[in-house]
Amino acid sequence: MSEKTTMAEELSKELLISRRNGFWDVTDDVIAQADEFCEGYKDFLNRSKTERESVAATIEMAEKAGFVPFDSAKKYQPGDKVYMNNRGKSIILAVIGTEGCKNGVHISAAHIDSPRLDLKPYPLYETNDLAMFKTHYYGGVKKYQWTAIPLAMHGRIVRRDGSYVDVCIGEEEGEPQFCVTDLLPHLSSEQSAKTLGKAIEGEALNILVGSRPVRTEDGKGDKLFKLNVMKLLHDKYGIIEEDLVSSEIEFVPAFKANDYGFDRSMIGSYGHDDRVCAYPAVMALLHCGTPKKTALTVLADKEEIGSIGNTGMRSSFLSYFVADLAKQDGVEVRDVLTKSKCLSADVCAAYDPTYASAYELNNSCFLNNGVSIMKYTGARGKSGTSDASAEFMGEIRGLLYRNNVLWQTGELGKIDVGGGGTVAQFIADLNVDVVDVGVPVLSMHAPLEVVSKLDVYMEYRAFHVFFAE
Ligand code: MN
Ligand code: MN
């Protein structure tokens, strides 16, 4: 090789960014650690298909690790571990740091709601001898993906007297499942001529829940198919039809998380967005020891519909919690928040060669290249994003570099093709430094999403070193 070629090679190594597959930058030991970490993650996925189940599973793990419910009247010491359960649908875990919160706190924030089919207030009806549920989809879904797949029913039904029952049908072996029917291809010439978005409309996402009536002497009677379903629900859960008015019932894919690929390098599952960030954020906090700055992991509800509601990230529950910590340390909450830092943990779109035209190759994120630090999300000229500062990007990039955490950066697809948001902007509203650090996902928001095990593990490592700062 000529001297000039060698010089150019050395120069490019020094000056140009390397974007090779992350596999070449980690040892087999790290791959093995990633695979092992993901066994716990798959278990979490299968136990946590709704926000309520995610909170319950998180509390179970946290209590095993010594966390106790937060009491604002109590005085906490460095190393104390607490959690604040907000209405069973969002949660904050915290480990008190040796400095307390006076120099700011370190926050990781993810969301635990996912796209799904919710029941309408009056869901149950019968038509042509079939019993059905009317649904209203939640979050950004491609509706055609929700037909002809097995669905399970999860959620809570509150009776008139305030008592409630938690429901989960279709997950265990031997339990019945449900589905939205689709039209056979033989009769689909009209449907197939429609655009993808119109072929299955919201009002067509009706769930098949029964096809046998209550038996009567003469075979006569009104709404016997609907009545039979209601009778079965009453027998099992002690509820009447009106109780469904005060319920949060979610129909989600009934299949379980599984390894994908001959090499088992990936996990296919419902609900990676955003459990793939929530689980690593929780585990990193559980393993953070006694940090210098008080460390928080926030799991929020309602991100998929705009972070609204009292369990969403636009609610004041996070700032109230930090205010309680500030009061303990005799400082103002605004001073704590202003000095605080946050990794907003949400997924990004992984480059999909099958749909290459939606991505700009140079600024895409790739499976197995590690966590993606997203300076901004949003759409139409960065609208609806917090756009992290160069300084904070630099700080987090340096942190991950020093600690051998694989990272990459990019955008969510081509400009003007679409876009999306995260909770980052609502945390930025509190005058906290925040940037998105998440895991690339294939088929995001589909009933079956795919992530790389190495990326999931790097997400955990990213939080771990962030809390240790
Ligand atoms: Mn998300
Ligand atoms: Mn999402």
Structure tokens at 37: 């970490």
Above 70 in pLDDT, residue 1?
no
Q: How far is the CA of 421 from the centre of ligand 2 (A)?
A: 8
Q: How far is the CA of 95 from the centre of ligand 1 (A)?
A: 25
Q: How far is the CA of 77 from the centre of ligand 1 (A)?
A: 34
Q: How far is the CA of 112 from the centre of ligand 1 (A)?
A: 8
- Using 50, 70 and 90 to split pLDDT, how confident is the model at 36? very high
Structure tokens at 208: 């098949």
Above 70 in pLDDT, residue 119?
yes
Q: How far is the CA of 215 from the centre of ligand 2 (A)?
A: 45
The one-character DSSP state at 254 is -
Cα distance between residue 170 and residue 174, in whole Å: 8
Query: What is the length of the chain?
Result: 469
Q: How far is the CA of 419 from the centre of ligand 2 (A)?
A: 11
Q: How far is the CA of 357 from the centre of ligand 1 (A)?
A: 23
**pLDDT for the residue numbered 5:** 84
Q: How far is the CA of 114 from the centre of ligand 2 (A)?
A: 7
Q: How far is the CA of 337 from the centre of ligand 2 (A)?
A: 26
Q: Which of 5-14, 153-162, 197-206, 267-276 has the lowest mean pLDDT?
A: 5-14
SS3 at position 365 = strand
Q: How far is the CA of 346 from the centre of ligand 2 (A)?
A: 8
Nearest-ligand number for the alpha carbon of 347: 1
Cα distance between residue 407 and residue 18, in whole Å: 11
pLDDT digits (tens, 9 = 90+) for 187-222: 999 999 999 999 999 999 999 999 999 999 898 899
Cα 145 to the chain's mean position, in Å? 19
Structure tokens at 317: 């529950």
**pLDDT for the residue numbered 418:** 86
Nearest-ligand number for the alpha carbon of 277: 1
Q: How far is the CA of 446 from the centre of ligand 1 (A)?
A: 12
Cα distance between residue 396 and residue 408, in whole Å: 12
Q: How far is the CA of 227 from the centre of ligand 2 (A)?
A: 37
Above 70 in pLDDT, residue 288?
yes
Of 358, 348, 356, the residue nearest 415 (C-alpha):
358
Q: How far is the CA of 268 from the centre of ligand 1 (A)?
A: 16
Is there a contact between 119 and 135 (Cβ–Cβ < 8 Å)?
Answer: yes
Q: How far is the CA of 5 from the centre of ligand 2 (A)?
A: 46
Once rounded to an integer, what is the mean pLDDT over residues 252-268?
98
Nearest-ligand number for the alpha carbon of 138: 2
**pLDDT for the residue numbered 416:** 86
Once rounded to an integer, what is the mean pLDDT over residues 53-69?
98
**Judging by beta carbons within 10 Å of its beta carbon (0-12, 13-18, 19+), is residue 451 exposed, middle or buried?**
buried
Q: Which of 15-24, 235-244, 291-300, 399-408 has the lowest mean pLDDT?
A: 15-24
Q: How far is the CA of 442 from the centre of ligand 1 (A)?
A: 13
Ramachandran angles phi, psi of 311, nearest 5°: -105, 0
Q: How far is the CA of 415 from the centre of ligand 2 (A)?
A: 18
Q: How far is the CA of 345 from the centre of ligand 2 (A)?
A: 11
pLDDT digits (tens, 9 = 90+) for 151-183: 999 999 999 999 999 999 999 999 999 999 999
Name the amino acid, one letter, at 310: N
Above 90 in pLDDT, residue 74?
yes
Cα distance between residue 439 and residue 423, in whole Å: 15
pLDDT digits (tens, 9 = 90+) for 340-399: 999 999 999 999 999 999 999 999 999 999 999 999 988 888 888 889 999 999 999 999
Q: CA gyration radius for the chain?
A: 24
Of 200, 206, 211, 144, the residue nearest 180 (C-alpha):
206
pLDDT digits (tens, 9 = 90+) for 39-49: 999 999 999 99
Of 445, 464, 465, 467, the residue nearest 115 (C-alpha):
445
pLDDT digits (tens, 9 = 90+) for 95-104: 999 999 999 9
Above 80 in pLDDT, residue 305?
yes
Q: How far is the CA of 272 from the centre of ligand 2 (A)?
A: 9
175 strand-pairing partners? none
